[in-house]
């Protein structure tokens, strides 16, 4: 499948983003291009649980960070901050949950576990999946 555009795509700039959380949880507008760079940060005690920072390629502006949680599982938590990865932080975006073999990943929003749902909080939703 090839993508054909009528004209060159418009690169998204930080100055055009009004609400970062809304921007990161929405699709890229048609005819626009989001070009990003992922940087792996590993040092000290985080060598086994590195943090990944997503930046706009042209401006080096931080969009969000991801950090692996737990021991051997492939669970990554996403945040607008480099430090706050736990729910109920206002910077928490959701998580990616992988299977044991790393061949299937599920993307979940910031809602809570349906089995442990506190009163008044929305259940988490599956917003995507990746199969290898």
Residues 6+ apart with CB under 8 A from 58: 11, 13, 35
51-109 pLDDT tens trace: 888 887 767 677 777 777 766 667 888 888 887 777 667 888 888 888 877 788 888 88
| Contact in structure between 41 and 52 (CB atoms under 8 Å) | yes
Q: 102-106: long-range contacts (C-beta < 8 A, 24 or more apart)?
A: 102/74, 102/132, 103/131, 103/132, 104/129, 104/130, 104/131, 104/132, 105/74, 105/129, 105/130
- Which helix (H) or strand (E) segment is 64 a member of? strand 62-69
**How far is it, in rounded angstroms, from Cα 5 to Cα 48?**
42
Question: In this structure, which topology does domain 10-131 adopt according to CATH?
Answer: Tubby Protein; Chain A (3.20.90)
61-74 pLDDT tens trace: 777 777 777 666 67
Q: What is the mean pLDDT of residues 26-52?
A: 78
Structure tokens at 1: 């499948």
Report yes or no on whether pTM surpasses 0.85: no
Structure tokens at 28: 């890229």
Would you list the domain boundaries of the chain? 10-131
pLDDT of 1 higher than 50: no
């Amino acid at each position: 499948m090839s993508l054909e555009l009528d004209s060159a795509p418009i690169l998204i700039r930080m100055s055009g983003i009004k609400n970062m959380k809304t921007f990161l949880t929405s699709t890229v507008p048609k005819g626009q291009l989001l070009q990003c760079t992922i940087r792996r940060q590993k040092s000290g005690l985080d060598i086994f649980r590195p943090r990944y920072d997503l930046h706009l390629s042209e401006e080096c502006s931080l969009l969000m960070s991801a950090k692996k949680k737990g021991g051997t599982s492939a669970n990554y938590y996403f945040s607008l901050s480099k430090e706050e990865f736990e729910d109920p932080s206002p910077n928490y975006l959701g998580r990616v949950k992988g299977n044991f073999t790393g061949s299937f990943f599920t993307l979940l929003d910031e809602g809570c576990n349906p089995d442990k749902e506190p009163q008044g909080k929305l259940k988490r939703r599956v917003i995507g999946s990746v199969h290898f």
